[in-house]
């Protein structure tokens, strides 16, 4: 079971690496790790389990955050319209995106960052993501708003990018160009 003890924190170089492509088909070990990542997210959102194991709630997790430098991510959340997303993907890739941007007015946080970093994180408002699911089939997802933001946060981790890298250094709350808030 993945717990907070397994979560790599900022300062560790693994979070700054470009993660390796997973050669297909994924191994049983890779599948097992990815399943555990999705289970961690579910556990982290279960009040009882989260309390018992001291889990911080998370909507997404990328493999480098558990010290596995491979292109694997899991997400588990509901968007602001109550639409549910639960995905575990190998080699996720943004195949197209909007010109328009969006951001969360509350900013972003990260399980690997034990401090609040204020500011708007500009993200594409709409993206199309392709990847390979746990069953080995290709998945193609058209995402907007909060869902698009979460996937971009996770895919950034696979490229060694942290959410605060995108925050305007002069004025963290500068409204990004071409953007409307997701919330
Ligand atoms: C706010 C939080 C997340 C994504 C987008 C906005 C995910 C937080 C959990 N993670 O650290 C996953 O990498
Ligand atoms: Ni993160």
Residue-wise pLDDT for 9-59, tens only, equals 999 999 999 999 999 999 999 999 999 999 999 999 999 999 999 999 999
Q: What is the domain extent for residue 104? A: 4-181
5 — pLDDT class (breaks 50, 70, 90): very high
**Can you give the pTM of this predicted structure?**
0.98
Residues 6+ apart with CB under 8 A from 47: none
Place of tokens 């955050």: 65
Q: Provide the domain count of the chain.
A: 1
Token pair of 130 as six digits: 């392709």
CB 14 within 8 A of CB 8: yes
> Which ligand sits nearest to residue 75's alpha carbon?
1
The answer to whether the CB of 147 is under 6 A from ligand 1 is no
CATH number, domain at 66? Answer: 3.90.45.10
Give the ligand whose atoms come closest to the C-alpha of residue 57: 1
Residue ID of nearest Cα to ligand 1 atom 10: 110
Predicted pLDDT of residue 51: 98
Query: 111 in ligand 1 pocket by Cβ < 6 Å?
Result: yes
Residues 6+ apart with CB under 8 A from 108: 117, 121, 149, 153, 163
52 is annotated as an active-site residue:
no
Quick one: pLDDT at residue 144?
A: 98
pLDDT of 21: 99
Tell me the CA–centroid distance for residue 110 and ligand 2, in Å.
Answer: 4
The response to whether residue 153 sits with its C-beta less than 6 Å from ligand 1 reads yes
Ligand 1 center to residue 37 CA distance, Å? 14
């Amino acid at each position: 079971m993945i717990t907070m003890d397994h979560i790599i924190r900022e300062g560790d170089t693994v979070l700054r690496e470009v993660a390796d492509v997973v050669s297909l088909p994924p191994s049983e070990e890779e599948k097992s790790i990815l399943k555990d990542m999705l289970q961690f997210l579910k556990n982290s959102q279960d009040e009882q389990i989260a309390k018992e194991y001291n889990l911080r709630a998370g909507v997404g997790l990328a493999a480098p955050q558990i010290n596995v430098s491979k292109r694997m991510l899991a997400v588990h959340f509901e968007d602001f319209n109550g639409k549910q997303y639960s995905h575990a993907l190998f080699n996720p890739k943004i195949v197209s995106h909007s010109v328009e941007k969006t951001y969360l007015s509350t900013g972003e946080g990260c399980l690997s960052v034990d401090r609040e970093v204020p500011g708007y994180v500009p993200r594409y408002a709409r993206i199309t993501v392709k990847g390979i699911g746990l069953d080995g089939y290709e998945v193609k997802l058209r995402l907007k708003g909060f869902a698009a933001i979460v996937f971009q946060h996770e895919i950034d981790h696979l490229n060694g990018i942290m959410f605060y890298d995108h925050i305007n250094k002069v004025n963290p709350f500068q409204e990004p160009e071409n953007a409307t808030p997701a919330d």
